[in-house]
Amino acid sequence: MRQSNKEAFAQEANRRLFSVDFHDFLEKESALTDVELSREFDISVRDVRTLRRKLHP
Mean pLDDT of the residues in the chain: 77
Which has more confidence, 47 or 16? 47
Note the pTM of the prediction, 2 decimals.
0.56
Across residues 30-49, what is the average pLDDT? 87
Across residues 4-8, what is the average pLDDT? 73
**pLDDT (tens digit, 9 = 90+) per residue, 10-35?**
666 555 556 666 777 777 887 888 89
Closest CA to 22 of 46, 42, 41: 41
